[in-house]
Copies of this chain bind each other. A is one copy, B any other.
Amino acid sequence: DSRLQTLLREGHSSTQSSHRLLAYSDALISIIATVMVGNTPSFELRESLQGLLTTKIGVYLMTFLIVTVAWAAHIRLFQVVVRIDDCLALLNLACMMLITFLPYTFSLMATFPENILGILLFCGCVMVIGSVIVLYAFSRPFLLNEQIQISENQTFYKHHILKVIMKVPIMCFFASIFSFIFFQLSYVLLAIVIFLPYISQCLKWCRSKAIGQVEETPDSMLFYTYLPNEPLSKERVEAFSDGVYAIVATLLILDICEDNVPDPTVVQKQFGGSLTAALRLYGPEYLAYFGSFATVGLLWFVHHSLFLHVTKATRFMGLLNTFSLAFVGGLPLAYQLTHEFPPNSHNELEAIQISCVIIFFAGIFQLAIWVVALYNEQETLHPYVRYGGREHVLMLAKLALYPCIALGTFFLTCILSKFSAPIFHLMEITVPFAFLVLRILVRLGLLNAGYLSVVWLHEPRQPQSGQAVTRRLLST
């Protein structure tokens, strides 16, 4: 039977590894999730900051949420579909096109809430995205996970998975039908699609932690649930995060290139031909750019250090990561604001404080990932960073640095509101050095620690070598 499977698979010789397809999908989705923040319908920046921010942030967060939910579903799907062929690759591209179109349909829904066209378009997109790859892949079993192919009760597995995956398109189907009758109900249905799995699982998890009683799920059902400790592809979480950080880091340079090359005639007339004098006008914008790049780059650096130590990502860690990324994605907006307003105005102060809050939350959610990882440290962390391990303190310090500094800057700008901009920029420029100081402190500590730490700490590049290290340590 297993030889038959192998032959079947060989006969369909055109299957390929899905690795690069997934990397490309991650890149596309992370771009779409992030760039929308600059692209909400434009307003006059001189208007009230609150009104502007509420609309912008609202639209941005919803877009980010919808796109990341689609991304999470994509991950879940490709945990089952492990091989691809040309046709599946083309179908995936078509789905990607519709995912990039989702924010637009959402904008239509938000602008014309009583018109059913937006709902219909949105539901139509979701229905196609949610069903077309599944149906194709399940009609060609050699594309599926080996676990399913080998398993005895293959049909049971398949039905269980199909039931989980098809829930969303079917609910969208009903939502689109209800939109003709009573459109408010459609919105309720859509909200349920997005939020319910998370809320119900969150409640269940909290309850089980509070009571301490763990429900034993039968082994066959552990696969493909919404449980918070369900494993998530660490590679894809990293790829998606990289995409978001990369886009955010470069968004501001675009503005600079577009607007900040002075006109030669203006330079000649107003500055007597002195380019330096003309460029000095843009000083705050350069500072904002370098500051934003440094902040985003260092947040990426912390994220990188964190995931270097993580051996297995869980769904709950993925959710916290998404929250962190949502705040990171808001940074360009805040930075644009910091240099858009006249110096020392009330608006500038507010913009800077909002930046601090955003940085604070981006850092706090990274810290939360670490805390959650420590809860199950046997499963999720390398031995040398577990509680009490040598690198543990360094990692904690790295993660705590941004929240602490952001908080400090926030209160300092409250007190010394006149110097808010210099304080903020000084903070941004000194943080990289703080990381270097941390590193040096640890290295000095390491030198004293001797051979034991050397054995414990070596070779973070081999995730599977944890046990080997422990064995070696025991034998010495």
**B250/A23 in contact, CB under 8 A:** no
**A107/B257 in contact, CB under 8 A:** yes
**A250/B294 in contact, CB under 8 A:** no
Using Cβ atoms and an 8 Å threshold, which residues of chain B touch A454?
7, 10-11, 13
Q: How far apart sit A446 and B246, CA to CA, in the bound complex (Å)?
A: 43
Q: How far apart sit A294 and B115, CA to CA, in the bound complex (Å)?
A: 29
Q: For chain A, residues 12 to 63, give those with C-beta under 8 angstroms from any C-beta of chain B.
A: 13-17, 20-21, 23-24, 27-28, 31-32, 35-36, 39, 41-42
Contact of A39 among B31, B94, B254 (CB under 8 A): B254
Whether, in the assembled complex, A133 has its beta carbon less than 8 Å from a beta carbon of chain B, the answer is no
A271 to chain B: closest CB distance in Å?
11
Interface size class of A (residues with CB under 8 A): 35 or more
Whether, in the assembled complex, A78 has its beta carbon less than 8 Å from a beta carbon of chain B, the answer is no
Which B residue sits closest to A89, measured CB to CB? B301
Whether, in the assembled complex, A111 has its beta carbon less than 8 Å from a beta carbon of chain B, the answer is yes
Binds B, one of A171-179, A336-344, A366-374, A458-466: A458-466
Q: How far apart sit A258 and B103, CA to CA, in the bound complex (Å)?
A: 11
Q: How far apart sit A299 and B103, CA to CA, in the bound complex (Å)?
A: 24
**B87/A10 in contact, CB under 8 A:** no
- Tell whether A246 pairs with B27 under 8 Å between CB atoms, given A104-B257, A258-B39, A304-B89: yes
Whether, in the assembled complex, A432 has its beta carbon less than 8 Å from a beta carbon of chain B, the answer is yes
Whether, in the assembled complex, A264 has its beta carbon less than 8 Å from a beta carbon of chain B, the answer is yes
Which B residue sits closest to A460, measured CB to CB? B16
Using Cβ atoms and an 8 Å threshold, which residues of chain B touch A254?
35, 39
Whether, in the assembled complex, A245 has its beta carbon less than 8 Å from a beta carbon of chain B, the answer is yes
**A275/B11 in contact, CB under 8 A:** no
Binds B, one of A218-226, A235-243, A353-361: A235-243
Whether, in the assembled complex, A249 has its beta carbon less than 8 Å from a beta carbon of chain B, the answer is yes
8 closest Cβ contacts across the A-B interface?
Answer: A13-B457, A27-B246, A17-B461, A93-B297, A10-B458, A97-B293, A107-B261, A115-B275
